[in-house]
């Protein structure tokens, strides 16, 4: 499946994931001032909230480069794409854990956990958006959600709105359950590629 590796750019995706999580695990807690339109006025958003979407964008961009061979592929392409949705967050978690063991910084560990939950959410969102918006537009879905959550997701007192899961704290059970559910839906979307295709009888 060399054509699959070429179209998905998996090595590049893993490099993006590695570099992004090195940034998140080391300086992800750095505050980025973002104007707020959700009631908070102005707030400092952690850098990790903004950059955790990058690996999901890399995956979605590779997925957008799907080629015609997939329509007649014998190998289970859907399983391979679903595996990528699991491989990327596992790789990010491994990097975050390694940095945490080296730095032993509890605050950085919380930021990394929050970013990992958001990455899971963004991966699932991009996969779910593809059948609805098309392969190209699906790349923008997690970016727009991350931006809207950063700019509109904080209410009075800096408390995140219930819909703004990326802005929720790392221990928020609703955001965590939602992220896992969206990723599960994305996995199902990918696995549907392997369903037998019906060809009309001549």
Q: How many CA atoms lie within 13 A of 191 on its CB side?
A: 9
What's the pTM value of the predicted model, to 2 decimals? 0.85
Print burial letters for 162-192: b (CB count within 10 Å at least 16), e (below 16): ebbbbbbebebeebbebbeebbeebbebbee
Under 8 Å between Cβ of 80 and 188: no
Residue 144's pLDDT is 94
Of 144, 175, 179, the C-alpha closest to 159 is 175
**First-to-final CA distance of the chain:** 31
Pick the residue with more confidence: 113 or 196?
113
Please state, in angstroms and rounded to a whole number, the distance separating the CA atoms of residues 114 and 64: 27
Selected residue with higher pLDDT from 182 and 2: 182
Separation of CA 59 from chain center: 8
Helix axes 173-191, 77-103, angle to 10 degrees: 150
**Max CA pair span of the chain:** 66
Which tens digits make up the pLDDT trace of 152-169? Answer: 888 777 788 889 999 888
CA 53 to chain centre: 5
Q: Is there a contact between 30 and 45 (Cβ–Cβ < 8 Å)?
A: no
CA 132 vs CA 20, 136, 165, 173, 189: distances in Å: 28, 11, 21, 28, 11
CA distance 86 to 166: 19
The pLDDT value recorded for residue 38 is 60
pLDDT band at 66 (very low <50, low <70, confident <90, very high): low
User: How confident is the model over 21-63, as pLDDT tens digits?
Assistant: 999 988 888 878 777 666 556 667 888 888 999 999 999 998 8
C-alpha 87/C-alpha 103 separation (Å) is 24
Taking only the tens place, the pLDDT of each residue in 114-143 is: 999 999 999 999 999 998 998 888 999 999
Confidence of residue 70 (pLDDT cuts 50, 70, 90): low
Task: Dump pLDDT digits (tens) for 72-87.
Answer: 555 678 888 899 999 9
């Amino acid at each position: 499946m060399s054509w699959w590796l070429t179209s998905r750019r998996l090595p590049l995706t893993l490099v993006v994931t590695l570099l992004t999580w090195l940034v998140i695990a080391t300086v992800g807690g750095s505050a980025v001032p973002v104007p707020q339109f959700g009631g908070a006025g102005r707030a400092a958003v952690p850098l990790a909230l903004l950059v955790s979407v990058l690996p999901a964008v890399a995956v979605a961009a590779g997925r957008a480069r799907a080629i015609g061979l997939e329509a007649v592929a014998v190998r289970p392409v859907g399983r391979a794409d679903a595996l990528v949705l699991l491989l990327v967050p596992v790789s990010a978690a491994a990097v975050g854990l390694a940095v945490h063991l080296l730095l032993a910084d509890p605050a950085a560990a919380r930021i990394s956990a929050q970013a990992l939950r958001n990455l899971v959410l963004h991966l699932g969102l991009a996969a779910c958006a593809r059948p609805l918006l098309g392969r190209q537009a699906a790349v923008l879905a997690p970016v727009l959600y991350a931006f809207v959550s950063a700019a509109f997701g904080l209410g009075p007192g800096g408390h995140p709105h219930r819909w703004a899961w990326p802005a929720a704290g790392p221990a928020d059970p609703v955001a965590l359950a939602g992220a896992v559910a969206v990723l599960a839906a994305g996995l199902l979307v990918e696995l549907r590629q392997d369903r037998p295709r019906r060809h009309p009888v001549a």
